Amino acid sequence: MPRDRGGRREGRDGRDRRDRLGTRAIATLALLLSISTSAACEGPAIVTHGVVVGPLDRFEVAVEPVLEQRCAQGGCHGRADRPFTLYAPGAYRADPSRVNLAEPLEAEELATNALRVAALASSTDPEASLVLRKPLALSAGGLHHGGGDVFVDRTDRDYRAIRDWLASCAPAEGGI
């Protein structure tokens, strides 16, 4: 079986085994997301890996556009080999044949992005979340970010959209 640049085995479709298993897990997550609810969030939610993810409809409207515009480009988080990989229309996709197609995200891709954002949430303070502190300017209390300052300060509308969505979700007891 061929290997990718990282030495991992690739399947017939060019994806490594972990990516294929992750895609199946995300499909299951998307299904569960559509049928479960949580008291911690309004709307559909699921607890996975100790993280409450939800509400997905609000994520899609408020947070996903921010990620697509400011984070998911090929030179940033829009590639499989990057930390905090994100899916976006016209960029990296779960299905390699759909890369660079400007089609809306599939439910599993949207759920994966939501899970990745929620996994970086602080259990007590959304503004302490890594997903907000890394791209925040150092002068505003942020952390070093290889992509530079995405948010100049905490009043940025896109920063607030992510913060507000994180505040609507609380990590499950014993989670992160």
- Chain-centroid distance of CA 60 in Å reads 11
Report which of 118, 60, 109, 116 is spatially closest to residue 84, judged by C-alpha positions. 116
Map out the domains of the chain as residue ranges: 120-168
pLDDT tens sequence for the chain (176 residues): 455 555 555 555 555 544 544 544 444 444 334 333 333 344 545 555 555 666 788 999 999 999 999 999 888 999 889 889 999 999 999 999 998 888 999 999 999 999 999 888 887 889 999 999 999 999 999 999 999 999 999 999 999 999 999 988 755 444 33
Q: State the pLDDT at residue 82.
A: 87
What single letter denotes the amino acid at residue 62?
A
Element (H, E) at 21: helix 17-35
